[in-house]
A and B are shown apart, each in its own frame.
Chain A
Amino acid sequence: MSKTLFDKIWDKHVVTSIENGPDVFYIDRHFIHEVTSPQAFDGLNKRGIKVRRPDKTVATADHNVPTENQHLPIREELSRKQVAKLEQNCEEHNVELYGLGHPWQGIVHVIGPELGITQPGRTIVCGDSHTSTHGAFGAIAFGIGTSEVEQVLATQCILQNKPKLMRITVDGKLQKGVTSKDIILFLLTKLSASGATGHFIEYAGTAIESLSMEARMTICNMSIEMGARGGLIAPDETTFDYIKGRNFAPKAEQWEYKLQQWKELFSDKDAIFDTEHHFQADEITPWITYGTNPGMGISIDESVPSKDKIDPKFQDGFEKSLNYMGLQENQALKDMPVNYVFIGSCTNARIEDLRLVADLVKGKQKADNMNVFVVPGSSQVREQAQREGIDKVLESAGFQLREPGCSACLGMNEDKIPKGEYCVSTSNRNFEGRQGPGARTILASPLTAAATAITGKLTDVRSFISN
């Protein structure tokens, strides 16, 4: 029988099934961080049990960490305590921790792939909804709650019902100035913030196949914003080339063996999906959001829609969103003044993102009104950027290259956007208060963000490039 890529991986990981209930689902790799793990370790300690497979568990500190002076103790007391708790738990349970000061520290969804821990065919979970990122490698990867973190720590399994499957096919060639971030923001606008609830998404088509691993991760990362538990892409030569030689990648004979297995990971020709969507890449333009969920987006050259153009079921939220954002129906956003740009997060803080930004801003200066945070996704990304001279390019443009962490993506650490200010952000969520109480987030690609930083106003990067 024909199987989807998802089925092939899922079926291999079902330990047993409960009659009329969920499957006992085996987890190959478990990432943990300081925010969603302490209560799970607490549960283990209360039961007097240890982590079952510390060899399949990796920890890092990312959400709470400052992105300046990481060598100093964390100033904020509760953040410091939470990071210390992670260190203590990892030590007591023999879990590998790439914490502050470790050369491999970084955002959990950046370090997994860059260390070669994320591999095709694996099942990967983390107490973080953006675990969907790892699906870019042809893995089943999804975010879980803390009770489930505890289950995985204790048994290496969780109870899961098999979700429905959606395939989104994007064919064709992307226009100049359009990145994978624009693809996913475009898809979110078309399908809405709940368009894939109950599903796992497979992304396919020639436009997806043409993307680098970094770009594919950006797309899979935001699957959750459509309501999907995760998204995945069939592994191919681009995937294999990316993994080869990384720290935890299979070596020598093991590599050949794995490669044969990985090459079987694709959806069979006549495999059936519960839902299918098709789009053409040339429809996609630089995309931004105007509202307070990632499904509320427009092309950079379009105006905020009028209320009567909005699906009646979204109209209440639409008004409330515009009110929070301080925007009007039919308002053009291009050329609107903006004082903050954030380039970072598990969506867009990889070396390729920094290269795109550096290429665009080389020899230019940020606008006077502009505050620009560039926060690399990991220590390795930061070092690579320094090796390539990207740090110098950014510095001369007046951008600040900070130390790795989740930073201004979620308003949990020291990096926040002030109340009422607009921030063009390469992160994944424009929810009310996400970047700090009262902050107004406009999601965009790293190119749009960089161009905006230079001009001081929301900019169509296509005109910027041709100039």
Chain B
Amino acid sequence: MEALTTITSTAVPFPHEDVDTDQIIPARFLKATTREGFGENLFRDWRYLDEDVPNPEFILNKDTHSGEILITGRNFGCGSSREHAAWAIYDYGFRALIGTQFADIFKNNSLNNGILPIETDTKTYSQLLESVETDPKTEIIINLEDQTVSVPSISLTFSFDINPYKKMCLQNGYDDIDYLISQSETIKAFEKNLHS
């Protein structure tokens, strides 16, 4: 996993509620056996009209907004546990998500793939969204060490929570599996006393 410390970028507003992982990446695109290339089909059925024609109304097809940060509506990533959703978001180029609430499995999957999901309150979210929507050049600075997000153009700074262990993993690019493998002996000892 790639290490993440700070992100300075513009953002893409995507203020839809309850966006499920079937919208992020429809099931018919889950047939690959590698982790790469899913970005091409990110938000596929919203992004394309019939006959694979890009939908000119869809935010990723407009040339107004771009950046490494996606501003997401409440309950983003609900539904299926497919990690392909996180892979698609990463592959497209997003490194952080800012919203009011993320679905649990999706949040875990994001953290396991070097994507930082930031949850904030509704008021801050609205301020941020408005700023990004009115001025696509709005620069957002995310500092993982300090756990802060700042938007200099509107003098907004807010802090966010992250599990200290997951923070350490993101900062160093560590995967959980490395840690778990290092615990082999402890796991072996545990298994000796287990009867299920």
Task: Give A residues with C-beta under 8 Å from B.
Answer: 15-16, 18, 20-22, 24, 26, 28, 35-36, 38-39, 42-43, 47, 49, 63-64, 78-79, 81-82, 85, 119, 121-122, 127-129, 143-148, 150-151, 154-159, 161, 163, 193-194, 197-198, 224-225, 227, 229, 293, 295, 313-314, 316-317, 320, 410-412, 429, 431-434, 437
Contact indicator B194/A147 (Cβ below 8 Å): no
Total interface residues on B, CB under 8 Å, equals: 54
Complex: A385 Cα to B82 Cα, angstroms: 32
Q: Taking CB as reference atom, which chain B residue is nearest A153?
A: B177
Chain A contacts for B177, CB-based, 8 A: 43, 147, 150-151, 154-155
Which one of A145, A225, A227, A317 has the greatest number of beta carbons of chain B within 10 Å? A145
**Which B residues between 156 and 183 are near A, CB-CB below 8 angstroms?**
163-166, 175-177, 179-181, 183
- Cα–Cα, bound, A42→B35 (Å): 10
| Distance, CA A78 to CA B101, complexed state (A) | 34
Contact surface of B with A, Cβ cutoff 8 Å: 15-18, 20, 22-23, 26-28, 30-35, 45, 73-75, 78-84, 86, 101, 103-105, 108-109, 112-113, 163-166, 175-177, 179-181, 183-184, 186-187, 190-191, 194, 196
- Picked from A39, A121, A151, A161, the residue with its CB within 8 Å of the CB of B180 is A151
Q: Looking across the interface, which residue of chain A has its beta carbon closest to that of B18?
A: A293
* Whole-angstrom distance between the Cβ of A90 and the nearest chain B Cβ: 14
Task: Decide yes or no: A147 and B176 within 8 Å by CB, A194-B78, A197-B75, A227-B103 being known contacts.
Answer: yes
Q: Nearest chain B CB to A239's CB is how many angstroms away?
A: 15
Could you jot down 17 A-B contacts, CB within 8 Å? A15-B183, A15-B187, A24-B180, A63-B30, A78-B31, A81-B31, A146-B83, A154-B181, A155-B187, A159-B165, A194-B75, A227-B78, A227-B103, A227-B104, A320-B16, A431-B79, A437-B45
Q: Which residues of A contact B166 (CB under 8 A)?
A: 21
**A440 CB → nearest B CB, Å:** 13
Nearest A residue to B1, CB-CB:
A147
Chain B hits for A197, CB < 8 A: 75, 101, 103-104
The verdict on A434 contacting B22 (CB below 8 Å), with A43-B177, A122-B196, A159-B180 known, is yes
- Beyond A42-B34, A128-B80, A227-B78, list 10 extra A-B contacts (CB 8 Å): A21-B163, A49-B181, A144-B108, A145-B81, A146-B35, A146-B84, A156-B191, A194-B103, A410-B22, A431-B22
Q: Which of A18, A79, A293 contacts B78 (CB 8 A)?
A: A293
CB-CB nearest 6 A-B residue pairs: A21-B165, A145-B83, A78-B31, A38-B33, A143-B81, A145-B109
Q: How far is the CA of A22 from the CA of B181 in the complex (A)?
A: 15
In the complex the two chains form, is A317's CB within 8 Å of B81's CB?
A: no
Q: Are B26 and A433 in contact, CB atoms less than 8 angstroms apart?
A: yes
Q: B75 to nearest A CB, angstroms?
A: 4
Instruction: Please tell me if the beta carbons of A147 and B103 are within 8 angstroms of each other in the complex.
Output: no
Residues of B within 8 A of A47 (CB): 181
Query: Which one, B22, B84, B109, B184, contacts A433 given CB within 8 A?
Result: B22
If the complex has contacts A147-B177, A155-B180, A433-B22, are A412 and B75 also in contact, measured as CB distance less than 8 A?
no
Q: In the complex, what's the smallest C-beta–C-beta distance from B89 to chain A, in angstroms?
A: 13
Cα distance, A155 to B20, chains bound together (Å): 30
Question: What's the Cα separation between A43 and B83 when bound, in Å?
Answer: 14
A150: chain B residues within 8 A (beta carbon): 177
Known A64-B31, A150-B177; judge A155-B83 contact (CB<8 A): no
How distant is B53 from chain A, measured CB to nearest CB, in Å?
14
Cβ distance A222 to chain B, nearest Cβ, rounded Å = 11
Interface pair A129/B79, CB less than 8 Å apart? yes
By the criterion CB–CB under 8 Å, are B104 and A229 in contact?
A: yes
Q: How far is the CB of B125 from chain A (nearest CB, A)?
A: 12
B180 contacts A314, C-beta separation under 8 Å: no
Does B75 lie within 8 Å of A155, measured CB to CB? no
Contact between chains at B27 and A147 (CB < 8 Å): no
Residue numbers in A under 8 Å from B75 (CB-CB): 193-194, 197, 227
Q: Closest residue of chain A to B189, judged by CB? A: A15
Query: How far is the CB of B46 from the nearest CB of chain A, in Å?
Result: 8
Pair A26/B190 contact, Cβ less than 8 Å: yes
Docked-complex contact B22 and A16, CB < 8 angstroms: no
Tell me the complex Cα distance, A231–B15, Å.
29
**Contact indicator B186/A121 (Cβ below 8 Å):** no
Q: A residues within 8 A CB of B190? A: 15-16, 26
Q: Which residues of A contact B81 (CB under 8 A)?
A: 36, 127-129, 143-145
Smallest CB–CB gap between A299 and chain B, Å?
22
A16 adjacent to B165 (CB under 8 Å): no
Instruction: Please name the residue on chain A nearest to B45 by beta carbon.
Output: A433
CB distance from B191 to the nearest CB of A (A): 8
Determine the chain B residues whose CB is within 8 A of the CB of A22 once the complex forms: 163, 165
Asked if A431 contacts B175 (CB within 8 A), the reply is no
CB contact under 8 A between A193 and B183, given known A145-B81, A147-B109? no
Docked pose: A23 CA to B142 CA in angstroms: 28
- In the assembled complex, the Cα of A129 lies from the Cα of B109 at a distance in Å of 12
A154 to chain B, nearest CB (A): 6
Give complex CA distance A105, B164 in Å: 42
